[in-house]
Amino acid sequence: MSQAGYLFRLNAELGKRLGRLKNRQGSGNTPDLGSHAEYLANRQLPEGGFPDREGEPDLYYTAFGLRGMALLGILDPRRATRAGEWLAAHLASQATVVDLHALVESCLLVSLAGAPDPLSSASPDWQERLSDLLQTFRTSDGGYGKVPWATSGSTYHSFLVALTHPLMGRQFPDAQGLLSFLAGRERPDGGWVEAPAMRKSGANPTAAALGLRQMLDSPLDHARLEQTAVFLDSLAGTDGGYRANSSIPLSDTLSSFTVAWSLDQHGLAGRIRASALARYLEMVALPGGGFRAGVWDSGDDVEYTFYGLGLSALVHGAEGP
């Protein structure tokens, strides 16, 4: 799989499955997608961005708001133009890897929705400048850190850097170095860790590692994949979702999505605990639309709403009548 194909395939696949759900609205326990669409539309701020939990416009949350709208087919040119104007005003912002990826992805989403490209006002050599900037996050172990010139790489941030390169029309510069980095994050329990000192693997670094290997055309062999599947299954929580790691008692919506997506995309959809996840989704979905981070969460935001929608697509959007 090409680097460019990963993110487009994720969005397209989830959008297709949510499209099936739209045709089943009102039947059985199918989630109410209309309420989630209204939630996302109402969360877009007048200036065009989407808010964090404190109500302030934020690049990271804007990317998730736009992704959620795109999945539900409500990112029309009017909404996209509002977002694009806000993004264009933040092209020169100081940013982390997380924000840089969010910015580039958001600009692409609004362009695909028929709005003017926010990057049209950027420097003509913005791709080269951004590529050079991302290389300042490269670490001696072959990965990428959270901040420039970090002492060790982060599995998650390495995944984001690999995702960002094709969005700006560039190939990832050192696939072999990144694969070597991932080898150093593997653990005997079948998963991957975020940082070198960690011993127990986690759901999200494992999902990031699997995604990276797919992007870099280096899939796991059957025996190694089975070991990883067993590890991911061990993260199933008593509340119906999946936990971030084995030391945490309760599940969260992000980990539940990344585990289900990883299993689905490696031909292991039958290993997903779909019935339990359906119950979990009912508990974390809010009556007026949107999703919480977990049963323990008293709030909501567009990030977890995106993950809730993605999980709904995986659990309820299989092919069928």
Whole-structure pTM value: 0.95
Q: Please tell me the predicted confidence (pLDDT) of residue 321.
A: 47
Which residue in 31, 67, 36 sits closest to 283, CA to CA? 31
Q: Is residue 321 part of a domain?
A: no
Looking at the structure of the chain, the number of domains it has is 1
State the CATH number of the domain containing residue 35: 1.50.10.20
CA distance 43 to 230: 38
Q: Please tell me the predicted confidence (pLDDT) of residue 32.
A: 87
Q: Please tell me the predicted confidence (pLDDT) of residue 1.
A: 41
Q: Is residue 260 part of a domain?
A: yes
Q: Please tell me the predicted confidence (pLDDT) of residue 2.
A: 46
Q: Is residue 23 part of a domain?
A: yes
Q: Is residue 213 part of a domain?
A: yes
Q: Is residue 320 part of a domain?
A: no
Reduced 3-state DSSP string for 106-168: HHHHHHHCCCCCHHHHCCCCHHHHHHHHHHCCECCCCCECCCCCCCCCEHHHHHHHHHHHHHC
Q: Is residue 291 part of a domain?
A: yes
Q: Please tell me the predicted confidence (pLDDT) of residue 3.
A: 45
CA distance 93 to 113: 24
Q: What is the mean pLDDT of each run of 10 residues along the chain (321 residues)?
A: 68 93 70 93 98 96 98 97 96 84 95 95 91 93 91 96 90 91 97 96 98 93 97 98 97 98 96 97 96 96 98 86 47
Q: Is residue 197 part of a domain?
A: yes
Q: Please tell me the predicted confidence (pLDDT) of residue 161.
A: 94
Q: Please tell me the predicted confidence (pLDDT) of residue 318.
A: 76
CB count, 10 Å around CB of 87?
28
- Boundaries of domain holding 11: 3-315
How crowded is the C-beta side of 300, counted as CA atoms within 13 Å?
19
Give DSSP secondary structure letters for 219-248: PPPHHHHHHHHHHHHTTB-TTSSB-SSTT-
Q: Is residue 159 part of a domain?
A: yes
Q: Please tell me the predicted confidence (pLDDT) of residue 29.
A: 65
Q: Please tell me the predicted confidence (pLDDT) of residue 317.
A: 86
